[in-house]
Chain A
Amino acid sequence: MDLIVAFITGLTTGGLGCLAVQGGLLTSTLAHQIEQDMQRYNGAGSTQKFKPHIAQPILFFLLAKLIAYTILGYLLGAVGSVLQLTPLMRAILYFAIGIFMIGNGLRMFNVHPIFRYFVIEPPSSLTRYIRRKSKNGASFFTPILLGTLTIFLPCGVTQAMMATALGTGSPLQGATLMFSFILGTSPLFFSVAYFATKLGSAIEKYFTRIVAVTMLIMGLVQVDTGLNLSGSPFSFSRTISILQAYALPAQTGLSVEVTEYGYSPQVLHLPANQDVTIEWVTRNTKSCARSVVVPDLDYQQILPVTGRTQLDIPPQEKGAIIRYTCSMGMYPSQLVFDLDPTETNQ
């Protein structure tokens, strides 16, 4: 998943989705801070207007949360790299994330009681510990501790993002992904936490439906990504892109341009019943299209930023289709073996 997408996900659904679970903890910490400030204010007998210091604990909370989740992302990416996820395993992971998000979206709409089972509830002992810490804390220690402990209370969107970090198979990518996501959640979290005492639970009800709709959409996107990675012909994005490609004249040749926006041509027609070697051509390409996955050939390769990389394909029956995509399940494209040997253009 692109870091900007992770950031925007955090900025929208992530921030909203986690408010219900984590916002309460932060608000109770703030209430404690306000009480402390009020006691000091009354004790000092000041004549100036009372101003509680709530911005600082929110910042401590969010900073601790950002650091904790970045470390968690690093660890998840490290676990993913040890597991060496194959394209099919990643496809299953994305599919599971998608189903999880769709289930949570439907739960929020109260479609059926069974969707309540899509929630991962932390044990009572853990929530009890965190709740009591949130009430007894002092100054900056409690917000930092609570911000760190939020990794044990992830909302549905965060859980999905954690699974995505696992799927990256890279500690650095996992860490940057979670960093971008949590950074994205921070502005809304800060704003809502800051005004929480005024907004109360009304805002939670108002946003629930927005979160539910976004969860459903994101869930469908994740399922679609999983289908692309598995080489399935039934994904929504593949259908759209292939229909677009078929509207253009048939493209032949033995090379595929790997660009910032995917693969060109999206549908390449190749000769059947003979060995074929195609070339991936990159020219200062930095998008995820560089990481190409061909599930049917069990092939995955990270291409150089600029260069030519060959792929040998054994003879395919006439009419055979080999589907491929980038490792994030984006840019679905395909090779169609429907030409006679003489029809190939070099």
Chain B
Amino acid sequence: MKKLFNVPDMTCPNCAMHLEGLEDEIPGVRSISASYKKLSMEVEFDETKLTVEQIIQAANEIGYHPEPVSA
């Protein structure tokens, strides 16, 4: 499953790399592609192992507050 999030509190290109680093930290995440230009990140994950809320929680822990974009 792919889910798009707005991440309004990215302040520099390094923030995108921080967020992408979560793909190695959260079991069930296949890939994260974050963009500082668009202030967004797209997460591809296994919905049987992980929920959107858990992704938001993991991002909160490193200082970001993603908001799910409704399809």
Q: Which residues of A contact B (CB under 8 A)?
A: 20-21, 24, 108, 110, 116-117, 119, 121, 124, 127-128, 131-132, 135, 208
Contacts and interface: CB of A to CB of B under 8 A. Distances in A.
B16 interface: yes
B20 to A, nearest CB: 6
> What secondary structure prevails in chain A residues at the interface with B?
helix
Contacts of A135: 24
A44 B49 CA distance: 40
Contacts of A20: 12-14
A124 B41 CA distance: 11
| Chain B interface residue bracket vs A | 10 to 19
A43 to B, nearest CB: 26
Nearest to B63: A201
Contacts, number: 40
A121 B14 CA distance: 9
Contact of B33 (A24, A108, A110, A124): A124
Contacts of B11: 110
22 contacts: A20-B13, A20-B14, A21-B13, A21-B17, A108-B12, A116-B37, A117-B37, A119-B13, A119-B36, A119-B37, A121-B36, A121-B37, A124-B20, A124-B31, A124-B32, A124-B34, A128-B20, A128-B23, A131-B17, A131-B21, A131-B24, A135-B24
Contacts of B32: 124
A121 B20 contact: no
A139 B5 CA distance: 38
A119 to B, nearest CB: 5
Contacts of B31: 124, 128
B20 A131 contact: yes
Interface in B16-49: 16-18, 20-21, 23-24, 31-37, 39
A253 B37 CA distance: 57
A24 B17 contact: yes
Given A110-B11, A131-B20, 6 more contacts: A20-B13, A20-B14, A116-B36, A121-B35, A124-B34, A131-B21
- Of the listed residues B17, B18, B37, the one surrounded by the most CB atoms of chain A closer than 10 A to its CB is B17
A102 to B, nearest CB: 17
A132 B24 contact: yes
A124 B11 CA distance: 18
Given A117-B37, A121-B35, A121-B37, A21 B20 contact: no
A225 to B, nearest CB: 26
Contacts of B33: 124
Contacts of A108: 12
Nearest to B12: A20
A321 to B, nearest CB: 44
Contacts of A117: 37
B22 to A, nearest CB: 11
